[in-house]
């Protein structure tokens, strides 16, 4: 039985907020603990990967733990013909909750570390190399999530998605934002994880390109993937949860 929409939206809001809090907060802590940029990135990536896995376990049974507009958009797109996944109305609510949560998470992290609640980032992240990194990161994330759902292995999603994001910090030039809501949220903190507002549109366009590439590959590799669009996580008893 599906949880009510307000519960799912609350789960997406809180889950995305805590994810961005983990990303920003661990970045702040990393810069305070070390002067080595490589070590700072390692600390940031490990904390983010573990936090993401834990958050998927926590909120997955309620909302599917998307925490990401591109994941929600693909869930809607692939499932619209078979009646699985999100409805168009739900999609709008998910994107709004995720974006608001991401901004709130950045503010929360700043406040925890005695920084201005809203401090617009000044770190410019732009260039075809970074945009290509976002295409790769987003495509890979979508392939992983929906391939797991299609093959009946959604129960390993928390570990798999956390591991992928942790690895993608290192193998992509952009350090793998792969999430429009998180990208917007990170513009509200002038810290290690921040991104200047002027750089946000380029990242989001690249993520949307990754969405298109990911959908194309999913349909080519798994023609019936739409039937599993709503299978996001699995309860301990093995029963699928529809998002």
Query: pLDDT (tens digit, 9 = 90+) per residue, 1-31?
Result: 578 999 999 999 999 999 999 999 999 999 9
Q: What is the pLDDT of residue 144?
A: 96
Q: What is the pLDDT of residue 23?
A: 98
Q: Which residues of the chain have pLDDT under 70?
A: 1, 228-243
5-235 adopts what CATH topology? Answer: Glycerol uptake facilitator protein (1.20.1080)
CA distance 17 to 9: 12
Q: Tell me the helix, strand and coil percentages in the chain, rounded to 5.
A: 70, 5, 25
Distance of CA 212 to the CA centre of its chain: 16
- Residue burial 55-73, b: 16+ Cβ < 10 Å; e: rest: bbeebbbbbbbbbbbbbbb
Q: What is the pLDDT of residue 228?
A: 65
Q: What is the pLDDT of residue 132?
A: 98
Q: What is the pLDDT of residue 236?
A: 38
Residue carrying the six token digits 């690895």: 167
Q: What is the pLDDT of residue 71?
A: 96
Q: What is the pLDDT of residue 24?
A: 98
Cβ of 171: how many Cβ atoms within 10 Å? 12
Q: What is the pLDDT of residue 232?
A: 47
């Amino acid at each position: 039985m599906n949880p009510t929409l307000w519960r799912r939206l609350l789960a997406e809001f809180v889950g995305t907020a805590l994810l961005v809090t983990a990303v920003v907060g661990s970045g702040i802590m990393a810069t305070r603990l070390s002067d080595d940029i490589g070590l700072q990135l390692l600390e940031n990536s490990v904390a983010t990967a573990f936090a993401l896995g834990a958050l998927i376990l926590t909120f997955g049974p309620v909302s599917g733990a998307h925490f990401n507009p591109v994941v929600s958009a693909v869930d809607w797109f692939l499932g619209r013909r078979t009646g699985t996944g999100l409805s168009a109305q739900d999609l709008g609510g998910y994107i709004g909750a995720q974006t608001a949560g991401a901004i709130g998470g950045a503010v929360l992290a700043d406040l925890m570390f005695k920084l201005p609640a809203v401090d617009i980032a000044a770190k410019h992240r732009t260039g075809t190399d970074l945009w290509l990194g976002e295409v790769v990161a987003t495509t890979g994330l979508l392939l992983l999530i929906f391939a797991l759902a299609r093959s009946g292995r959604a129960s390993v999603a928390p570990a798999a998605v956390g591991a992928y994001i942790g690895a993608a910090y290192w193998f992509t030039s952009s350090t793998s934002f792969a999430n429009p809501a998180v990208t917007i949220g990170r513009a509200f903190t002038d810290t290690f994880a921040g991104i200047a507002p002027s750089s946000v549109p380029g990242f989001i366009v690249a993520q949307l390109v990754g969405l298109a590439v990911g959908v194309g590959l999913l349909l080519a590799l798994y023609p019936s993937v739409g039937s599993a669009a709503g299978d996001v996580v699995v309860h301990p008893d093995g029963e699928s949860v529809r998002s």
